[in-house]
Amino acid sequence: MNNNFLTWKSHDLRSYEDFNRQIWHSLVTNISETLVDFQKYVDSRDNSYTQDGILFIRPTVTSTNNYGAPLKYDSSDMVYSARLSTLASLLFIYGRLEIRAKLPTGDWLWPALWLMPKEKNAYGEWPRCGEIDLMESRGNRKLIQNDTNIGAKQIGTTLHFGPARGFDGWRHAHFTKNQYNLNTEFHIYTLIWSPFGFEFYLDDDLIGTIYPPFGGFWELGEFEKQTNFSNPWEDQSYIAPFDQYFYIIMNIAVGGISGYFPDNAENLNYKKPWKNTQPETAREDFFKAKRSWLRSWPYMNENGEDSAMQIDYVRLYAL
């Protein structure tokens, strides 16, 4: 398996000339499709571009990348971001995936490096089909829950699997690691996926391993004790639902009511402006606090590039 064909080389500001768009495709959404989050995904060079050999995935507010945009709330406010994937071009099963990236800084930013199956209904709808989260993080510089900074100093890796929504066994396959420089320096995020299980690394440090017991992920998730559902992976391979072809996704989401930004977490300088339990007003409440969270996005650079997820390379190896 070629270990370089997912990389890019470009020294032309915001040029995609050397970015392999035959492999990486941009998702475009309507806001109605992303109500769980507060962003709209677009195919724009304001939100995904290469510079000096680095890919930037960067959120912007309204229709401009001018971070001096008016701070007064407007009902037409919108956050634009990018989500790139290999769904239409590159699928793989088992291997070693390495992504070298620097994470963004900015309140309520949600960067992710993850994988989804091409055939989502092979075992049924999510989470029966499985999901692999190589890296997720939160851009808040200081977001405290249970005396731990769960913001930009923490990353998490997770497998999602289960017989139905509301019965996701992720807690049995979830690891976190705190490190002070995740959003200021580049690090290598590695997934090793074999027919027997998973290993996740941050640089050379093993974050966690998932090797399911004899009963597979049904037994690992302890679903026999929790539900009246039948095993959707019965008579399948040992590692089902992770025995099918997946594709790679890289994106930054913003906010949302999924619970990834807990209501009980304490944010630096101001409170979380929306409630996950109030979906009817969550987006409006978020944008009404724009004066607070938008100031945190530029952080070090005036043009806000520290609010971008910066990706040096993506490499894939056969085991």
| Residue count (the chain) | 319
Q: What are phi and psi of 135, to 5 degrees?
A: -155, 130
- Residue from 132, 47, 117 nearest 83 by CA: 47
Residues acting as catalytic residues: 131, 136
274-278-283 Cα angle (round to 5): 50
CB atoms inside a 10 Å sphere around CB 233: 22
CB atoms inside a 10 Å sphere around CB 293: 25
DSSP secondary structure letter of residue 65: -
Contact (Cβ atoms closer than 8 angstroms) between residue 265 and residue 144: yes
Distance CA 11, CA 241 (A): 41
Distance CA 123, CA 130 (A): 9
Burial 148-179 (b: 16+ CB within 10 A, else e): ebbbbbbbbbbbbbbbeeeebbbebbeeebee
